[in-house]
Structure 1
Amino acid sequence: MKSKEQHESKLKKMNPVKLIKGSKKHFSEKKYVEKLLKYARKIGIKISYYSLLLFYTFKSPSTPKSAKLTIAGALGYLILPIDLIPDALPAVGFTDDAAVIISALYQVISSIDDTMKLQAHNRMQKLFGQDYDTEEIEDKFKPE
């Protein structure tokens, strides 16, 4: 029971913006792709899609540098081997990663266009196949 209480306490104290800033130096495209391929099913459709959306936004030449720094920090945190909440913990292991990804997504929302959404959507279809259900993805982040 203590473990659950400790994790809930850590979640309440977590500052996604601070975590993003602290992880910028750890981002690499190769590490991100490797982690996503390895953990996509555990992370879930929503966070996998949102992280891909950030990834393709990062790669776009039209994305402002400040948005790219935010994205690099979020994706860097996702691939860090050490997390606030260890990824190996069932049910709660990726909650900190999810919070960072969602926070970054809303910070750079104005940089996301339909091409990026379509790229993320197509990659998700390859990763999840018939299990890819877009129901839990917010409509504003889906391709038209």
Structure 2
Amino acid sequence: MATARTAFWHRDKSDETRDETNDETLRRNFWRKFGVVLAQVPFAEDLLTAYYCAFDRATPLPVKASLVGALAYFVLPFDAIPDMLPLLGFTDDAAVLAAAIKLVTSHIRPEHRDAARDRLAAMKGQSAGA
């Protein structure tokens, strides 16, 4: 799936500017944190799959809301178990993500998984070459 299919969604025109700012902040923070913790996160492919599904125009709004909530929880620096703790740091993030994916699994398409695998392979290739 090409990233061109991803899009922002808006409830109404009055919220457009605020939504664009919030969505762009989430996207920027997601990629920043994902790049930093790539080697530490065993559920990286599921995380990217959720990201691509959440920002796919064809994904229904309630599904987007569930996935964006899980992605935001991953991005937030303050959560139930601090991410800097070895072995335990990402367990709460993984649990929230697993629950969200379980709820919306019928909306995750093969294109989302393919895009996640491709992006993950590209990122691993970049870090190996650096």
How would you bin the TM-score normalised by the shorter chain? 0.7 to 0.9
| Amino acid aligned to 2:29 | K
Question: Secondary structure of the equivalent of 1:104?
Answer: helix
Q: 1:58 aligns with which of 54, 59, 67?
A: 54
For these two proteins, the number of residue pairs brought into alignment is: 105
Measured in 1, the distance between the counterparts of 2:115 and 2:56 equals 11
Q: After the TM superposition, which parts of structure 1 deviate over 2 Å for at least 4 consecutive aligned residues?
A: none
Per the normalisation by structure 1, the TM-score is 0.68
- Equivalent residues in 2 for 1:84-123 (5 A)? 84-123=80-119
Paired position in structure 2 for 1:73: 69
Question: Secondary structure of the equivalent of 1:117?
Answer: helix
Deviation at 1:83, TM superposition (A): 1.2
| Amino acid aligned to 1:79 | V
**Percent identity of the aligned residues?**
32
Deviation at 1:37, TM superposition (A): 0.6
Paired position in structure 2 for 1:28: 26
Measured in 2, the distance between the counterparts of 1:97 and 1:127 equals 21
Report the structure, 1 or 2, having the larger helix content.
Answer: 1
Measured in 1, the distance between the counterparts of 2:50 and 2:76 equals 16
Per the normalisation by structure 2, the TM-score is 0.75
Gaps of at least 5 residues in structure 2 are 1-21, 126-130
What is the root-mean-square deviation in Å for CA atoms of aligned residues? Answer: 2.1
Deviation at 1:128, TM superposition (A): 2.4
Measured in 2, the distance between the counterparts of 1:33 and 1:108 equals 22
Deviation at 1:59, TM superposition (A): 1.3
| Amino acid aligned to 2:94 | A
